[in-house]
């Protein structure tokens, strides 16, 4: 069935709020609920319904019949198609309001508890070019615009380089501009497109699994240096090496180049060897007074300026007096552990990616920090009762899990360890609320604060301070 045949038009939907994944939610005059892309609470719209999930229609806004007062003009020309910054049409003030609401809803509805203190959402001073890492995909079958399809003309050039169209694994929006990363991010991507097209290099096709160029990751630091990681489907040094050489010559800002060869079905390459091609092996960055060496596989907060603010909230919530034995779970390259090390007696970080722990150790040496220890492995396997016995009673546990939240066994170990405080940093209010609900058997939420790390998206970071309920 074609793109159009599955569609249904519905008129007169009144949008009232924001739901899962940042979609606007609203009702028609019969009270039917709809989840729509492209809407703003307060809009009255006509919509195209694309699918139903558990009986609820999901779709996109086709026409705005009455615009919400919170609606603003998006600044990026790819806004309608690109899934990157879906909230550009909502004023920044209202974005913050809805992020805070998302956290409140999760705590109240999923955790079913009340926080003692809700602190105001922490906003970003810089709402454009705030990311220090982006990944663009190559595709031999880019996303076609409605105009291109309707023109009926044969399109010879189907190559695209940009972000995946949301909801597709094989269609890429051919980006000309993006406001997420500082320059020369756009210049590198656009140069790469014209160089590779000019040389007739094949772009990958995720459906047929044919083609050569797959992805490019660009990472930058505050000094304006860039690290590049190019992913190709098979080794072809005759094409690859001149391409990487030309890129480095064209962009003096590129201080490090890696490549990876991946014939995997998905685009995840972290489990494959990365080959160092040029320049420095790491990017150097600093947060507060702490220096970091960031490798191509390391997790590092993607908004550097806001990461400092986030870690300051962690420090403020923990309110260390210098005597504490602390655990930093899901430590990445030890960022939080090293950031707070000078305020505590000792700190132990756990992280599953070995390379990140390798850099955590390097970063510890680099900063002459002597009271931090790092361990590589799954938190549920490393953080056992024996481990805690060996490394000392936990006064404070800082935890910053991935979107899935903490494994139940980790929550259970924390409950047995009974730290006085838990500082829970999360990028997913729903899983954080689920875990807080499990912890509520022994803990109360003292304070909670949403932190905006990703303007113009629905993503929100949260820091919650949980304190142990004192038993008589």
Ligand X SMILES: C[S@@+](CC[C@H](N)C(=O)[O-])C[C@H]1O[C@@H](n2cnc3c(N)ncnc32)[C@H](O)[C@@H]1O
Piece of 217-225, 240-248, 349-357, 413-421 that binds ligand X (CB under 6 A): 349-357
CA distances, 59 to each of 13, 34, 391 (Å): 12, 8, 52
Q: Which of 82, 106, 243, 353 binds ligand X (CB under 6 A)?
A: 353
User: Minimal distance in Å, beta carbon 389 to ligand X?
Assistant: 20
Q: Which of 330, 375, 424, 454 binds ligand X (CB under 6 A)?
A: 330
Q: Show contacts with ligand X in window 391-450 (CB under 6 A).
A: 400-402, 427
Helices (H), 164-254: 185-198, 237-250
Long-range (24+ apart) CB contacts under 8 A made by 210-214 are 210/140, 211/138, 211/140, 212/236, 212/239, 213/138, 214/137, 214/138, 214/262, 214/267
Binding mask 207-226 for ligand X (x = CB under 6 A): --------------------
Q: Which of 335, 363, 431, 432 binds ligand X (CB under 6 A)?
A: 335
Query: How far apart are alpha carbons 236 and 258 in whole angstroms?
Result: 15
Q: Active-site residue among 76, 85, 178, 427?
A: 427
Shortest CA distance to 409 belongs to which of 387, 379, 436? 379
User: Minimal distance in Å, beta carbon 402 to ligand X?
Assistant: 4
- Decide: is 299 part of the binding site for ligand X (CB under 6 A): yes
| 178 is a catalytic site residue | no
- CA 292 vs. chain centroid, Å, equals 20
Dihedral of the alpha carbons of 307, 313, 314, 317, in degrees to the nearest 10: 180
Buried b (16+ CB within 10 A) or exposed e, 144-177: beeeeeeeeeeeeeebbbbbbbeeeebbbbbbee
Q: Which of 121, 283, 379, 453 binds ligand X (CB under 6 A)?
A: 379
Residue nearest to ligand X (CB): 332
User: Minimal distance in Å, beta carbon 451 to ligand X?
Assistant: 12
Which residue number, 285 or 351, has a Cβ lying nearer to ligand X? 351
Q: How many binding residues for ligand X (CB under 6 A)?
A: 19
- Decide: is 455 part of the binding site for ligand X (CB under 6 A): no
In degrees and rounded to multiples of 5, residue 412 shows phi and psi of -65, -40
Q: Which of 40, 192, 336, 463 binds ligand X (CB under 6 A)?
A: 336
User: Minimal distance in Å, beta carbon 329 to ligand X?
Assistant: 7
Helices (H), 400-460: 408-417, 429-439
Which residue number, 336 or 430, has a Cβ lying nearer to ligand X? 336
- CA 117 vs. chain centroid, Å, equals 27
- Decide: is 375 part of the binding site for ligand X (CB under 6 A): no
Give me 253's structure tokens: 């800002």
- Decide: is 352 part of the binding site for ligand X (CB under 6 A): yes
The answer to whether the beta carbons of residues 174 and 141 sit under 8 Å apart is no
Burial environment of residue 336 by CB neighbours within 10 A (0 to 12, 13 to 18, 19 or more):
buried
Which residue number, 332 or 419, has a Cβ lying nearer to ligand X? 332
- Decide: is 452 part of the binding site for ligand X (CB under 6 A): no
Piece of 28-36, 243-251, 293-301, 430-438 that binds ligand X (CB under 6 A): 293-301
Piece of 31-39, 136-144, 259-267, 324-332 that binds ligand X (CB under 6 A): 324-332
| Residues annotated as part of the active site | 427
Which chain residues interact with ligand X by CB under 6 A? 299-301, 330-332, 335-336, 350-353, 356, 378-379, 400-402, 427
């Amino acid at each position: 069935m074609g793109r159009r045949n599955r569609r249904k038009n519905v008129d007169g939907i009144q949008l009232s709020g924001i739901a899962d994944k940042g979609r606007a939610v609203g009702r028609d005059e019969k009270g039917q609920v709809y989840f729509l892309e492209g809407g703003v609470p307060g809009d009255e719209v006509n919509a195209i319904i694309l699918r139903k999930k558990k009986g609820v229609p999901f779709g996109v806004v086709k026409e705005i019949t009455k615009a919400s007062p919170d609606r603003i003009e998006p600044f990026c020309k790819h806004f309608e198609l690109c899934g990157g910054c879906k909230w550009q049409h909502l004023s920044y003030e209202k974005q913050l309001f809805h992020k805070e609401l998302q956290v409140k809803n999760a705590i109240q509805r999923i955790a079913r508890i009340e926080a003692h203190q809700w602190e105001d959402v922490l906003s970003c001073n810089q709402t454009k070019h705030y990311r220090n890492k982006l990944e663009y995909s190559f595709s031999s079958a880019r996303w076609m615009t409605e105009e291109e399809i309707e023109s009926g003309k044969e399109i010879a050039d189907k190559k695209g380089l940009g972000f995946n169209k949301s909801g597709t694994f094989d269609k890429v929006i051919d980006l000309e501009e993006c406001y997420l990363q500082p320059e020369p991010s756009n210049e590198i991507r656009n140069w790469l497109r014209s160089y590779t097209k000019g040389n007739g290099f094949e772009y990958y096709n995720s459906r047929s699994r044919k083609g050569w160029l797959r992805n490019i990751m660009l990472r930058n630091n505050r000094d304006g240096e860039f690290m590049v990681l190019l992913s190709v489907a098979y080794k072809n040094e005759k094409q690859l090496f001149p391409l990487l050489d030309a890129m480095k010559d064209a962009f003096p800002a590129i201080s490090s180049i890696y490549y990876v060869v991946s014939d995997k079905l998905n685009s995840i390459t972290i489990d494959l060897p990365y080959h160092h091609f040029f320049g420095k092996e790491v990017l150097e960055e600093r947060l507060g007074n702490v220096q970091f060496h960031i490798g191509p596989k390391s997790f590092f907060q993607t908004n550097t300026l806001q990461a400092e603010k986030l870690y300051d909230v962690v420090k403020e919530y923990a309110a260390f007096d210098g005597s504490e034995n602390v655990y930093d779970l899901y430590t990445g390259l030890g960022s939080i552990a090293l950031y707070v090390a000078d305020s505590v007696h000792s700190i132990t970080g756990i992280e599953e990616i070995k390379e990140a722990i390798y850099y955590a150790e390097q970063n510890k040496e680099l900063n002459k920090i002597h009271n931090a220890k790092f361990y590589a492995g799954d938190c549920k396997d490393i953080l056992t009762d024996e481990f805690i016995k060996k490394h000392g009673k936990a006064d404070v546990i800082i935890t910053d899990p991935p979107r899935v939240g903490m494994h139940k066994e980790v929550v259970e170990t924390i409950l047995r360890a009974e730290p006085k405080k838990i500082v829970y940093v999360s990028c997913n209010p729903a899983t954080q609320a689920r875990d807080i609900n499990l912890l509520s058997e022994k803990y109360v939420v003292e304070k909670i604060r949403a932190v905006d790390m990703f303007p113009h998206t629905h993503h929100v970071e949260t820091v919650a301070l949980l304190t142990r309920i004192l038993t008589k």
